[in-house]
Amino acid sequence: MDDLAEEPKDTNESLRISKISMLLSASFMGCVGLFVTYLSNYSIFTIVLLRGLFGSLFLTLLMIKTRSFTKKFLKESIKMHWKALIISGAIYPFLIYLYFFSILLYGYAIAAFLLYTGGVFVLIFIAISGMEKVSKVTIISFILAIIGVMIIMELWNSQAFSLGLLFGLLSGLTLAVFIFCKKIIYNKRNKRNNDLENLRTNGDFDIFLAFFHTLFIVIIFLPVGFNDLPKITLVELIFALLLGLIPTALAFYLHNVGVKKDKGGNIIIISFIEPVVATILTVLILRTLSIFTIIGGSLILIANFIVLRYTDLNK
């Protein structure tokens, strides 16, 4: 009876951790446009490479600190999830490239809102696969968030449709595949919970997963971005380091914690905080703001409030 009483409590605690982690992750990721804009003198390939290089650097330090470089831990982790790891690892560098391309075309806010249209595809993937039950509250909140994105993009304007829009939507689609692969990985780990006790003592899988994906960025973009590295100034190096730490290493780790403990796709709506942060930075730095951004951003915040307030699984 005590175990049954503890289960709802543990479930609610996991959901709380998921929401807080995703909220922090999305807030950190919302700052990425600031760094991309400052480094815009370089090619997109180089900027993506810088994110991968310094993100990998900080995550390597975390891997060492948590003793996650043991042969047993790496072997078991890769062997158990190799298919999803390869798919997510291969698609992630292109996701970052498409997103950064949109940032340079549209600015922080719109690029971030386009990226998070990926939530449409994620919820579709979850519903079709039957991976998890998507609640009515989540669906309603998601519809509000998408309406908010459409208002901000002013999609009724014919000028809204362009190559940049296509790249932005493609970034959303690749993000959806990426998140779906991570949910597959974490669902498999949760189902085999009892078999993973030894593995958990030998390493931190959340940090490993973030490290694995940033490593793919380096592998893919090093050949095309390497030539610009000697040109980087000291100030630009500091920005590149911050790019690797705040919206990359810390944000990726927290994102993994959020996905791991998520149920029913709630974190998809919470992650819409990223474009809201990007919008705030746009106002503060670029001094631009439209009424449509205010209305659309308000709908997204309302959607987040609904999820944070009403989706605890204590039914």
Question: Is 50 within a domain?
Answer: yes
| DSSP letters for 87-153 | HHHHHHHHHHHHHHHHHHHH-HHHHHHHHTTHHHHHHHHHHHHTSSPPPHHHHHHHHHHHHHHHHHH
Q: How far apart are CA 273 and CA 109, in angstroms?
A: 11
pLDDT band of 262, cuts 50, 70, 90: low
Q: Judge contact between 134 and 127, C-beta under 8 A.
A: yes
Give the lowest-confidence range in 133-147, 174-188, 298-312: 298-312
Q: Among 64-68, 108-112, 165-169, 258-262, which range has the highest average pLDDT?
A: 64-68
Residue 186 has pLDDT above 50, yes or no: yes
Question: Is 107 within a domain?
Answer: yes
Locate 80 and state its tokens: 């158990």
Question: Is 13 within a domain?
Answer: no
Residue 255: Cβ-neighbour burial (10 angstroms; 0-12, 13-18, 19+) = buried
Question: Is 108 within a domain?
Answer: yes
* Terminal Cα-to-Cα distance of the chain (whole angstroms): 18
Q: Judge contact between 129 and 179, C-beta under 8 A.
A: no
Q: How does pLDDT run across 274-296, given as a tens digit for each residue?
A: 777 777 777 777 666 678 877 87
Which domain does 106 fall in, by range? 28-310
Locate 280 and state its tokens: 């705030």
Question: Is 235 within a domain?
Answer: yes
Question: Is 23 within a domain?
Answer: no
Question: Is 62 within a domain?
Answer: yes
Overall number of domains in the chain: 1
Work out the mean pLDDT of the chain and round it to a whole number.
79
Question: Is 273 within a domain?
Answer: yes
Q: Among 17-21, 120-124, 160-164, 242-246, which range has the highest average pLDDT?
A: 242-246
